[in-house]
Structure 1
């Protein structure tokens, strides 16, 4: 294998895997313990594994390609099927207004059964077992199994678009509606990429399984949705919402009893009683409750 060939594999597969892994980390770090973060971060992480599997496959002799694709690449794709549906249902909040029996476990039943068949069935239902060399690439034959997998993936994207549309219809928050429409746009772009890159052979011009390139674009959509469109509010933002919407007057003070921050209820009370100043002591004097406040401090 030539050095230039390895450099091409590094640029196409390894750098893409590293980029996707970084996007997964960004998605997770905004709130690592939150289930929404975990499910969303799983998408770029699984795509990174697909790119890494393809990188390893191209370093090995072509005789290893069937087992690499069927046992590793194909099974990662099956896991992604369940995780993708799980993510779409959670971000659209479909599970909150429609009862889904045995949710979320039901989403992983079919992928698990197909994985077991791939591992123990002695055959595969999802991937081609014949490969040939085309330029730098080890390309699968476009047979019935390959096209069956592509059609299944396209159907899954169509289902995800339907889930997002249902979520938009039930959503009452205008910012949330804009967010779901943004993700639906990303999913539509993914569908177009799947139709073009998955159903047509590009020979040696593009790498095999080139439809996984759409994973870079869609993962970027998800990270933008998290950080720009507030797909998953961070822990700090959740506390900020609780602070602002609390009907009780909440005031944050420093050790000198200067007001650092107050919520809307506290602001309304200050206006109502026409209180002045940036320190609570003169305010309590105006309200004639300074003695009670001092006793409370002690």
Structure 2
């Protein structure tokens, strides 16, 4: 236990002191072992030099430990802390100088296998002092409990107080009563084992004097990012709540956790390569997640494992994709905007020139969309614009492209030399589809005015084609003015 506590944190005062307490109890039992291996005449000297000296040191270390653990040291003057706890070392010197006639048994007798002390005045003085010190330690713990801030601290103090009470009861029953040769010499020493048991139980239950890895274990569980510990075959050994929430227990317990990711992740892990900000997609329950993966390697139970930190960047990526999309698209209709359309039209014209093909450009205006906005509201007008965009986009598919020029005006092109019959059929289909949709709003004058131009007959560049189509569209629009269009 001394080694365990010290290795938990070799720099902390509390860990060093508790290790020394455990070591002192070990020395007491070691003294008894040695004393029972040598002739009886050496027992008084060994008991006074070794047993009594260690017994005098233990209370001072215990008080120092408890004061430090309960943070009462902050209220003590620097001139006396921690020196006051080691004043008993003066008694060790006096003990060695005087032979310890008052605080150590000087008479021993051998009965059977045991070399037992004679219970005299010095023995009972030492026993009473030991019990009194235990009671002082208990009072210190009770005082610290009243100052505890959390229920967990109070629970720690309760366990330690119970341990002290058990030690006092043991001292009383097995220190003051002489059981002869039915028990080993100094049976009260076993109270140290009781005290160490309660300390160890408290350490395990409350992470009392916790290990460094216990701190990281709390960070592991508190971290909102999913963290997974797996062996190199993909079997998950541990996962924090964030990972369980994202991946679900079914994925965590799958035969190979790595199968969730693309082969690049699995290959890097099996090659034992560090992974930094590797972006990957996974599908869970028909839902797409975009993760940023970081991975490194740790040894657990003498076997190499991989520790993966998974950051869910699905929402951020969607935002970024939407921002990139809106840079080239209209937010209402989701069609490409004017800038993007002109870029693609120039590319299509270059392709048409290279392949010696023709290209048709359509400029489309929704007639009297203002009527819909004024009579049925802008939501109805927006819905009509979205439906018109769908119709025009469908007409341009699969090789052409449609875009919203602005307001109620749209544009599209068809490559690969569409015939005049195909163009007229397409115009009829678009107007018919819009007419059917407009039936939901009742009788209204909303329709499509469409102008068409063709490359290379009407122009050699995009702007020239748009100008020709714009003129044709307004010719059609003027021809329809003054007429009530009723959609049936």
Q: 1:136 aligns with which of 110, 113, 125?
A: 113
For residue 126 of structure 1, the aligned residue among 83, 103, 124 is: 103
Q: Is the 8 A contact 1:243 1:250 kept in 2?
A: no
Distance across 2 between alignment mates of 1:245 and 1:88: 30
The alignment partner of 2:115 has SS state of strand
Which runs of structure 2 are paired with 1:10-159 in the superposition (5 Å)? 23-96=1-74, 98-99=75-76, 102-109=80-87, 111-159=88-136
SS of aligned partner of 1:138: strand
Q: Confirm or deny: 8 A CA contact 1:190 1:218 kept in the other structure.
A: yes
Cα distance in 2 for partners of 1:158, 1:287 equals 66
Q: 1:157 to 1:204 in 2, by over 3 A?
A: same
Aligned mates of 1:31, 1:260 — CA distance in 2: 32
Secondary structure at the aligned position of 1:221 is classed as helix
Encode CA deviations 1:268-291: one digit per residue, 9 max, x unaligned.
xxxxxxxxxx645544434559x9
| Contact map agreement 1:157 1:187 (CA 8 A) in 2 | yes
Matching residue within 199, 206, 211 for 1:222: 199
Offset from partner CA, 1:162-208 (integer Å, 9 cap, x none): 01001100011111110110111011000000111111111111111
Q: What is the CA-CA distance between 1:95 and the residue it aligns to?
A: 2.1
Determine the C-alpha separation between the residues in 2 that align with 1:134 and 1:259: 75
Q: Which structure shows the bigger proportion of residues in strand conformation?
A: 2
Q: Which moved more, 1:53-62 or 1:278-287?
A: 278-287
Contact 1:251–1:259, Cα closer than 8 Å, also in 2:
no
Computing the radius of gyration over CA atoms, which structure comes out larger, 1 or 2?
Answer: 2
Question: Is residue 171–residue 191 contact of structure 2 (8 Å, CA) maintained in 1?
Answer: yes
Alignment partner, residue 211 of structure 1: 188
Q: Which residue of 1 aligns with 2:138?
A: 161
- Flag the 1:242–1:66 CA change in 2: closer, same or farther, 3 A: same
Q: Which runs of 5+ in 1 are unaligned?
A: 1-22, 262-277, 292-298
The offset of 1:236, in angstroms, is: 2.8
Question: Comparing both chains, which one has the higher relative contact order based on Cα–Cα distances under 8 Å and sequence gaps of 6 or more?
Answer: 1
Q: What secondary structure, in the 3-state scheme, does the structure 1 residue paired with 2:181 have?
A: coil
Aligned to 2:243: none
**Shift in Å at residue 226 of structure 1?**
1.3
User: 195-204 or 98-107: which moved more?
Assistant: 98-107
Match of 2:164 among 187, 191, 216: 187
2:206 is paired with a residue of what secondary structure? coil
Instruction: Please report the RMSD computed on the Cα atoms of aligned residues, expressed in angstroms.
Output: 2.9
> Match of 2:317?
285
Asked if 1 retains the 8 angstrom alpha-carbon contact of 2:102 and 2:122, the reply is yes
Gaps of 5+ in 2: 229-274, 280-290, 295-309, 324-488
In structure 1, C-alpha distance between the alignment counterparts of 2:194 and 2:72, rounded to whole Å: 24
Structure 2 CA distance for aligned equivalents of residues 279 and 86 of structure 1: 46
**Offset at residue 77 of structure 1 (A):** 0.8
Distance in 1 between residues matched to 2:99 and 2:110, nearest whole Å: 25
| Structure 1 residue 40: Cα displacement | 1.6
- Residues paired across the two proteins, number: 249
Aligned counterparts of 2:57 and 2:112: Cα–Cα separation in 1: 30
**In structure 1, C-alpha distance between the alignment counterparts of 2:99 and 2:158, rounded to whole Å:** 43
- Structure-2 change in CA distance of 1:35 and 1:250 (3 Å): farther
Structure 2 CA distance, aligned partners of 1:259 and 1:106? 56
Using structure 2 for the length normalisation, give the TM-score: 0.47
Which secondary structure state, in structure 1, belongs to the residue aligned with residue 207 of structure 2?
Answer: coil
- 1 CA distance for matches of 2:66 and 2:159? 13
Q: TM-score, normalised by structure 1?
A: 0.74
Whether the 8 Å contact between 1:128 and 1:140 is mirrored in structure 2 is yes
Deviation at 1:245, TM superposition (A): 8.1
Q: What secondary structure does 2:103 align onto?
A: coil
C-alpha deviations, 1:197-229, integer Å up to 9, x for none? 111111111111110011112111111211222
